[in-house]
Amino acid sequence: MITFIELLVNGISIGAVYALIALGFVVIFKATEVVNFAHASLLLVGGFIIAKTHESVGFWPALLLGLAGAAVLGALIEFLVIRRANVVNHSVLAIVTIGVDIVLTTELTRQIGTEVLALGDPWGSQVLHLGAVNIPLARIAALLAASAVIAAFLLAFKYTNWGVAMRATAEDAETAALMGVRRGRVSMGAWAVAGALAALAALFMCIFPTPGLDRTVTATAMKAFPAAILGGLDSTTGALAGGLIIGVTESLVSGYQGELVFLGRGLGDVAPFLVMIIVLLIRPAGLFGTRELARV
Amino acid sequence: MNVHDPGPPGDSGLTVRDLAVSYGPVTALRGISLEVPRGSVVTVLGGNGAGKSTLLRAISGTLRFHRGGITAGEIGFGRARLSGAATSAVVAHGVVQVPEGRKIFARMTVEENLRAGALGARDRRSASESRERVLTLFPVLAERARQRAGLLSGGEQQMLAIGRALMARPKLLLLDEPTLGLAPMMAARIADTVREINAQGTTVLLVEQNAALALSLASHAYVLEVGEVVLSGPAAELAESDEVRRRYLGIGDDRDEAPLAGAAPARPALSRWSA
Ligand SMILES: Nc1ncnc2c1ncn2[C@@H]1O[C@H](COP(=O)(O)OP(=O)(O)O)[C@@H](O)[C@H]1O
Ligand SMILES: [Mg+2]
């Protein structure tokens, strides 16, 4: 039972982090109809900036730099690549983002090399003891920070002019334009927000129990893809649900790996994709989505 | 037919000169000219495919959404040049369109739709004032403020679409077939509203297939056929002309088939010309 609670809390915590990534993914899709395969490299850039600057400027300023850096990079990708690529087919743009991803990831993994970079977070490997339940402080920080940011995001999405403009554009870009909404600004804003969310996710993916930022972080970030897709690529609620489902599944499956050994090793890594496939077989548009991914 | 006398110089209405529009190889407008003087209601009549929506898209700068473009001519509003301007700039100049088929944001609430309408407003502070004006004009929108707009009836959706456009405080309101698919009673209500909006000082360019209703509202009318202006003149004169009566009001040669209707303002919604 205690193991179960620990695994569950860990799962929710990592799930909230996946939700941050998935949310950015969904926001970009809603604003521009582009499936952003460069999302993992935005995350890598954010983490890299934090890792490289925290020793000289301190952790919190480094975190801000990481968030800002990834946001600016997202906006730049939108401005220089997505907006210029004069194609009407969104599948082509998705392929363009794969190109961007390859360029960024190759360069950064070359810089990182075989190192494991610490991010200088204040939580370290401290563990919170609640009776017999032990939970790392880093996981609690992840859960709280991700929840707060997601809540703030959803409130902004619902109540600010930015959110109204985003939703109007997502629903009908031409009519939103007739309201005077500038689509370029909306999509650039979406990419910037997605970048910042990814950078925050990078932080919580690279601190305890993970030893630090290394070249494999993009592979871990890929697990947020099934989160976004199974939730429904055009649904913010779906991104949350998807993130939590993937996080909890992964945590429980890994935790009980011993009992599930007949299914083979490394099941925790495969489980997210299995869950996604099962959900899509039942609901092709995802749990909360309205659009099927057939055309991507 | 009378050629419309352009308003006095300096009159900051809408001026369209020799406008030609193509969608790739398809030519939709072949050099049309028209004027909408400030404070007036002008209507553009024509059947399906005549180019009415294309004209409004050209004015609003949304042709690119349809892979179309202006190939010749100019559109001006007051001293501003609208041809070539971004849609957001057109809205900022006070030219706001209510698109064909209402195009409300169905997944958003009524309130949020109105809010979306104010996004491009020149003066954001006046949003609450505009909202009050819209809700006075359409009290039903206040009752349904928190409902999803997709749940409204067709007539209510049209009111929302007009109300949403008014949130941007337009100087010139472009209406694309606002009575399309509405019951005669509701169409008459929309017509009354257009009159009211105009009386409050907004210039109106009304595109319609419902000729009787449109001619009852407008001071001046243009008839569009396959991308060309074939008739134009004061609305009352057009309503009396044999050709318009026969072709657009269903009176005359095929009196037996079409419902009898007059263009008199007293009975505006009785007839509906359809292609
Ligand atoms: N997106 C488009 N692509 C190609 N041709 C179009 C498009 N929209 C309209 N057209 C053509 O332009 C002409 C005028 O259409 P439209 O302006 O919609 O007419 P109306 O609004 O008067 O019914 C028609 O021949 C129509 O087929
Ligand atoms: Mg039309």
Sorted by where each begins, the domain ranges of chain A are 2-221
pLDDT tens, position by position, A99-146 = 999 999 999 999 998 889 999 999 988 999 988 889 999 999 999 999
- Closest ligand 1 atom number to CA of residue B52: 22
Instruction: Note the pLDDT of residue B127.
Output: 82
State what percent of residues in chain A have pLDDT above 90.
58
From chain A, pick out residues whose CB is under 8 angstroms from the CB of B121: 180
Closest CB to B112 among A164, A175, A181 = A164
Q: What angle, rounded to 10 degrees, do the helices at A267-282 and A224-231 form?
A: 20
Q: Which of B164, B148, B153, B215 minimizes the C-alpha distance to B186? A: B153
CA of A88 to the centre of ligand 2 (A): 24
How confident is the model over A137-189, as pLDDT tens digits?
A: 999 999 999 999 999 999 999 999 999 999 999 999 999 999 999 988 999 99
> Cα of B52 to ligand 1 centre, how many Å?
8
- A274 with A38: CB under 8 angstroms? no
Quote the DSSP letter at residue A181.
Answer: -
| Residue B205 backbone phi and psi in degrees, to 5 | -110, 110
pLDDT at B267: 38
**A165: nearest CA partner in chain B:** B116
* DSSP type of residue A1: -
Phi, psi of B120 (to 5 degrees): -100, 10
Token duo for residue A166:
């985003």
Among A281, A284, A197, which residue's Cα sits nearest to residue A19?
A197
CA dihedral (B192, B195, B197, B201) in degrees, to 10, reads -160
B176 alpha carbon, closest ligand: 2
Q: Which residues of B touch A173 (CB under 8 A)?
A: 65
Of all protein residues, the one whose alpha carbon is nearest to atom 26 of ligand 1 is B49
Which one of B22, B26, B59 would you pick to mutate in the ligand 1 pocket, going by the greatest count of ligand atoms within 8 A of its CB? B26
pLDDT of residue A222: 84
Question: Which residues 6+ apart lie within 8 Å of B42 measured at CB?
Answer: B34, B35, B36, B204, B205, B206, B218, B219, B220, B221, B222
Phi first, then psi, for residue A159 (nearest 5°) are -115, -15
Q: Is the pTM of this model over 0.95?
A: no
pLDDT at A27 > cutoff 60: yes
In this prediction, residue B8 carries a pLDDT of: 46
- pLDDT band, residue A83 (cuts 50/70/90): confident
Q: In the prediction, which pLDDT does A215 show?
A: 83
Angle (CA) A234 A199 A27, round 5°: 15
Inter-chain residue contact B88 with A182, CB threshold 8 Å:
yes
The protein residues having their C-beta less than 5 angstroms from ligand 2 (an ion) are B 52-53, 100
| Residue B71 CB coordination number (10 Å) | 13
Measured CA to CA, the distance from residue B78 to residue B82 in angstroms comes to 10
CB A173 within 8 A of CB A183: yes
pLDDT given for residue B260 in this prediction: 37
CA distance A14 to B152: 42
Q: Domains in chain B, please, with CATH?
A: 1-94+170-250 (3.40.50.300), 97-169 (no CATH)
Distance of CA B205 to the CA centre of its chain: 5
Cβ contact (<8 Å) for A164 and B86? no
Reduced to 3 states (helix: H, G, I; strand: E, B; else coil), residue A67 is: helix
What type of residue is B81? R
Residues within a 6 A CB radius of ligand 1: B 23, 26, 28, 46, 48-54, 66
Which amino acid, B43? T
Candidate from B19, B22, B23 with most ligand 1 atoms within 8 A of CB, to mutate: B23
Q: What DSSP designation does A213 have?
A: B
Number of the ligand 1 atom closest to the C-alpha atom of B26: 5
Nearest CA owner, ligand 1 atom 27: B49
CB A169 within 8 A of CB A29: no
Q: Which ligand lies nearest the alpha carbon of B55?
A: 1
Average pLDDT score over chain B: 87
Task: Give the Cα separation of B80 and B201 in Å (integer).
Answer: 20
pLDDT of residue A293: 55
Query: SS3 for chain B, per residue?
Result: CCCCCCCCCCCCCEEEEEEEEEECCEEEEEEEEEEECCCCEEEEECCCCCCHHHHHHHHHCCHHHHCEEEEEEEEEECCEECCCCCHHHHHHCCEEEECCCCCCCCCCEHHHHHHHHCCCCCCHHHHHHHHHHHHHHCHHHHHCCCCEHHHCCHHHHHHHHHHHHHCCCCCEEEEECCCCCCCHHHHHHHHHHHHHHHHCCCEEEEEECCHHHHHHHCCEEEEEECCEEEEEEEHHHHHHCHHHHHHCCCCCCCCCCCCCCCCCCCCCCCCCCCC
CA of B48 to the centre of ligand 1 (A): 8
**Nearest Cα to Cα of residue A224 among A42, A18, A28, A78:** A18
* pLDDT tens per residue, range A198-224: 999 999 999 988 889 988 888 888 888
CB-based contact A181 B107, cutoff 8 Å? no
Distance B226 CA to ligand 1 centre (A): 10
- Highest mean pLDDT, choosing among A16-20, A81-85, A127-131, A283-287: A16-20
Cα separation, A69 vs A96, whole angstroms? 21
Closest CA to B174 of B261, B69, B62, B251: B62
Kindly identify the ligand whose nearest atom is closest to the C-alpha of B49.
1
Cα B51 to ligand 1 centroid, rounded to whole Å: 6
**Mutation test residue for ligand 1: of B53, B62, B180, B274, the one with most atoms within 8 Å of CB:** B53
Q: Which tokens in the block code for residue A179?
A: 């309201």
Asked if pLDDT for residue A259 goes beyond 90, the answer is no
Confidence of residue A32 (pLDDT cuts 50, 70, 90): confident
Residue B112: list chain A partners with CB under 8 A.
164, 167
State the pLDDT at residue A178. Answer: 96
Low-confidence ranges of chain B (pLDDT < 50): 1-10, 253-275
3 state SS of A160: coil
**Where does the pLDDT of residue A34 fall: very low under 50, low under 70, confident under 90, or very high at 90 and above?**
confident
Q: Under a CB-based contact definition with an 8 Å cutoff, are residues A197 and A21 in contact?
A: yes
**CA nearest neighbour of B15 among B205, B177, B201:** B205
> Chain A: residue nearest B64 by CA?
A174
